[in-house]
Amino acid sequence: MARLEAPVVISANCLLTGAVMYWGPKSHWCTNLSEAEVYDDLGVAADVVSAVADPAVVIGVELVPVKVSGNIIQARHYREAIRASGPGSYVLPSKTGGAHVSV
């Protein structure tokens, strides 16, 4: 696995909806990468992950490497770029009607 380098953001998925979420500067989860808190220190970011990883709210909490150009935050890895763009082009309705699944 590649070595993680700063800057990073904290990413997770909402437990109830599966939506991609990012930890924001106002100490809450947000749904846009552009609103995420950027960490230049991996130690500080890891401490925040430990504090905000509430399994009753989010799953899959991880640090994600980003590029910052001015006020623009961009994912450095294609996987996170896809996640940050929202659901895929093929969205299947749920059989129960409660949610949708993106493929």
- Convert the pLDDT of each residue in 15-40 to its tens digit: 998 899 999 999 999 999 999 999 99
> What is the per-residue pLDDT across 74-100, written as a single tens digit (0 to 9) for each?
999 888 888 888 766 555 555 665 555
Determine the Cα–Cα distance for residues 101 and 36; give it in Å rounded to an integer: 24
Q: Is residue 3 part of a domain?
A: no
In this structure, is residue 2 part of a structural domain? no
Structural domain contains residue 52: yes
Count of structural domains within the chain: 1
The verdict on residue 45 lying in a domain is yes
Does residue 38 sit within a domain? yes
Is 46 part of any domain? yes
Is residue 1, in this structure, part of any structural domain at all?
Answer: no
Q: Which residue has the higher pLDDT, 101 or 38?
A: 38
pLDDT recorded at residue 103: 46
Domain limits at 28?
8-102
- DSSP structure string for 32-53: -GGGSPPBS-HHHHHHHHHHH-
